[in-house]
Structure 1
Amino acid sequence: MHTICNPDQLVARTAARVTMAIGVVLFAASAHAQQSTLTETGSTLLAPLFTTWSAAYTKLHPQVHITVGSTGSAAGIEQAIAGRVNIGASDAYMSDSDSMKHPQVINVPLAIAAQTVNYNVPGLNDTHLRLDGPTLAGIYTGAIRQWDAPAIAALNPGVHLPHHDIVPVHRGDGSGDTFVFTQFLTFSTPSWESALGYDTTIAWPAVPGAVAVSGNLGVVNALKTTPYSIGYIGVSYAADIDSAKLGTAALKNGAGEFVLPTRDNITAGAASLAVRTPPDERLSLVFSPASGTYPLVNYEYAVVSKQQPDAAVAAQIREFLTWTIVPSDENATFLQSVHFIPLPPHTWELSYQQIQSIK
């Protein structure tokens, strides 16, 4: 049975693990001289971080080249299960059915991220409109069609909302961002849960004017060029959101508070639920009931087979993934550049243990 230590024990044990992990990474720099290539594909939210990691890691380990693909979380999971890539990057964990069918494939959190809800409403993009799960569900089912609809007006007293049709933008590819966003709608809105649920792809209702795009950058560009539109975007695209001058919503959390996706609120959202993370680390961090928490928070996963065909490749994967989670000033800078936060001690230890199982 898995036992959760008290905080002091956990921090001490994790510190020892970190010291050992740093030793492993330092040893790897001299232990592997042969040229090798590791392949990664998947999450567009993770892609900017994997690109940064790849360049930095190759500087430290010139013999290791890491290819980075930005194909969506569903593709990352599928490619990792099929053995066509070494690492599948995903904002979503594998489903129960996939995990049962493929017990050799593990889901390893590397960091914590979030999604934002953004919009292009002329004259209001400097205003943080308040939105909640049921209202967003209404927009994406077509039950709420205008920006000045009573449900939106009730959440935003004193704001002059335009009488104009809403253009909902959603991902058309298999997306972990869709997984997280539809979890929020599912957990907050019973009618959405019973009719649509959550996944990397869902049967989006046919809303007049709705737009389907691929990738986070596709959502940014669609919102930028489409007045009165709304969509969901991974937080690693914050600079693109700012450049496009889009509005960012304050979302209603499980405690009934309207909160923005600040670092403190994302950290609080993760901290309130991460202690529940099971050994296989498949856990939603969405819609925490705790005060001060941002509701669209998620683990960023490396989906990897424990059973590698080559021991040398397995060692390279272990060393790279360990390097990505080892606490350091450099890694903190990498995470901050894409607005991610590091794993808390409980999750860090579980991720380290899973990485060591790759053979």
Structure 2
Amino acid sequence: MAHPRNRQGFWLKWRNFAGWTLGAATLTVLVSTPGLAQEMTLNETGSTLLYPLLTTWVAQYAKSHPGVQINIGATGSEAGVQQVIAGKVNIGASDAYMSDAEIKHNPRIINVPLAIAAQSINYNVPGLNAIHLKLDGPTLAGIYSGTVRSWDAPPIAALNPGVSLPHHAIVPIRRAEGSGDTFVLTQFLTFSTPSWESDHGYGTTISWPSVPTGITATGNAGMVKSIQSIDYSLGYVGGSYSDSIAQAKIGTAALKNGAGEFVLPTRDTIMAGAASLGARTPSDERLTLVFAPASGAYPLVNYEYAVVSTQQSNPATAAAIRRFLLWTILPSEGNEAWLTGAHFIPLPPHTWELSQAQIQSIK
């Protein structure tokens, strides 16, 4: 079923850009779903990257839909998926899609993209935070494996000729909890660096190499705070925390993409990354957008998923979930503004139609 605006305005931007014929804090608010006779509670938890956007969505939904209580939490993508599988929440938010093995054991769980996000590589190198140091996948893999240990190491110096790099140990920071941000970063390292693929691979949780200077941080807010407070540190942050990154005055790296270009995470480069791969999205929508080969594409791009069971406890709960999720992807000027304000990109037409079909399967 096509939305009445699917050939104009909101979608036209995607069509012109991509050339397609078809983009643990808890908040409680009251939302109403027309046609439901009783109040109910929906529970969500998961991605800290998606949490700022969910906060906006739920608050805006409440203005026109009083009646369903929606509890949202920021516990990490892995926790969001596992809580849905265990039947403890109605919706899990995740930056990562479920693996083939997880789907095989949980065939009733679907992965529904709601928006497109990106991730940045950030650092705190005194005197250099105002410039965009150039980094690539193999160099980041070296930093997180401990083979590239200082900021003036040859691999970093070779990417940044003319930059006076300090001879100081790098402090690599990784997420403490199972995280979709970790999934995206380690996919990039896997796709760009054969040694990382053979030794470590990717996932929301992996067996990280032991690096003497390495530390952990919890959530995207914790990652930003840690980078800001620790000189010579480096970490990875979800794009919805761009304002926090700017306020912290930490550096953002320009990353080498699949076309060999060094690019920053801007709206255009994120759209380019999604456009070059998004048309391949299958009906179950489990697809990586990381390390796209197209010119101008930013390499750390991902779908933001709602992970939901297609078999709910009762028809009223299923209806409430369907209506809320369909509302979140509804092409409208208001939703586009909320997405932009939280540093997300709307779904392109092909993915929007697939997401709509998956949401309608929730019973």
The TM-score by the shorter chain falls in which range? over 0.9
Using the TM superposition, give the Cα deviation of residue 128 of structure 1 relative to its aligned residue in structure 2, in angstroms.
Answer: 0.2
Which residue in 2 is equivalent to 1:9?
Answer: none
Using the TM superposition, give the Cα deviation of residue 17 of structure 1 relative to its aligned residue in structure 2, in angstroms.
Answer: 8.6
Residue 14 of structure 1 contacts residue 345 of structure 1 at CA under 8 Å; is this kept in 2?
no
**Is residue 223 from structure 1 mapped to residue 240 from structure 2 by the alignment?**
no
Partners of 1:355 and 1:103 lie apart in 2 by 15
Match of 1:170 among 161, 170, 174: 174
Which residue in 2 is equivalent to 1:331?
Answer: 335
**Is residue 268 from structure 1 mapped to residue 267 from structure 2 by the alignment?**
no
1:197-253 Cα deviation digits (max 9, x unpaired): 000011111101111111001110110110000000000001111111000000000
Which residue in 2 is equivalent to 1:4?
Answer: none
Which residue in 2 is equivalent to 1:50?
Answer: 54
Using the TM superposition, give the Cα deviation of residue 153 of structure 1 relative to its aligned residue in structure 2, in angstroms.
Answer: 0.4
Q: Which amino acid aligns with 2:67?
A: Q
Using the TM superposition, give the Cα deviation of residue 16 of structure 1 relative to its aligned residue in structure 2, in angstroms.
Answer: 4.8
SS class of match (2:34): helix
Residue 131 of structure 1 contacts residue 249 of structure 1 at CA under 8 Å; is this kept in 2?
yes
**Is residue 70 from structure 1 mapped to residue 74 from structure 2 by the alignment?**
yes
Match of 2:349 among 336, 345, 349: 345
What are structure 1's unaligned runs of at least 5 residues? 1-12, 20-27
**Is residue 136 from structure 1 mapped to residue 140 from structure 2 by the alignment?**
yes
Which residue in 1 is equivalent to 2:205?
Answer: 201
**Is residue 91 from structure 1 mapped to residue 95 from structure 2 by the alignment?**
yes
**Is residue 210 from structure 1 mapped to residue 214 from structure 2 by the alignment?**
yes
Using the TM superposition, give the Cα deviation of residue 30 of structure 1 relative to its aligned residue in structure 2, in angstroms.
Answer: 3.5
**Is residue 358 from structure 1 mapped to residue 349 from structure 2 by the alignment?**
no
Which residue in 1 is equivalent to 2:251?
Answer: 247
SS class of match (2:327): helix
How does 1:15-164 map onto structure 2 within 5 Å?
15-16=3-4, 29-164=33-168
How does 1:264-303 map onto structure 2 within 5 Å?
264-303=268-307
Runs of 4+ aligned residues of structure 1 deviating over 2 Å after TM superposition are: 13-19
Pairwise CA RMSD = 1.2
Using the TM superposition, give the Cα deviation of residue 144 of structure 1 relative to its aligned residue in structure 2, in angstroms.
Answer: 0.4
Which residue in 2 is equivalent to 1:237?
Answer: 241
Partners of 1:237 and 1:180 lie apart in 2 by 16
Residue 5 of structure 2 contacts residue 331 of structure 2 at CA under 8 Å; is this kept in 1?
no
SS class of match (1:31): coil
Q: Which amino acid aligns with 1:308?
A: Q
Partners of 2:333 and 2:37 lie apart in 1 by 26
Residue 14 of structure 1 contacts residue 348 of structure 1 at CA under 8 Å; is this kept in 2?
no
Residue 251 of structure 1 contacts residue 259 of structure 1 at CA under 8 Å; is this kept in 2?
yes
Residue 120 of structure 2 contacts residue 238 of structure 2 at CA under 8 Å; is this kept in 1?
yes
SS class of match (1:136): helix
Match of 1:304 among 308, 330, 339: 308
When normalised by structure 2's length, the TM-score is 0.92
Relative distance call for 1:278 and 1:322 in structure 2 (3 A) is same
Residue 134 of structure 2 contacts residue 254 of structure 2 at CA under 8 Å; is this kept in 1?
yes
1:106-134 Cα deviation digits (max 9, x unpaired): 00000000000000000000010000000
Using the TM superposition, give the Cα deviation of residue 140 of structure 1 relative to its aligned residue in structure 2, in angstroms.
Answer: 0.3
1:270-318 Cα deviation digits (max 9, x unpaired): 0110000000000000000110000000000000000001100000000
Which residue in 2 is equivalent to 1:24?
Answer: none
Of Structure 1 and Structure 2, which has the larger fraction of its residues in helix?
A: 1
SS class of match (1:37): strand
SS class of match (1:204): coil
Q: Which amino acid aligns with 1:163?
A: H
Partners of 2:47 and 2:206 lie apart in 1 by 17
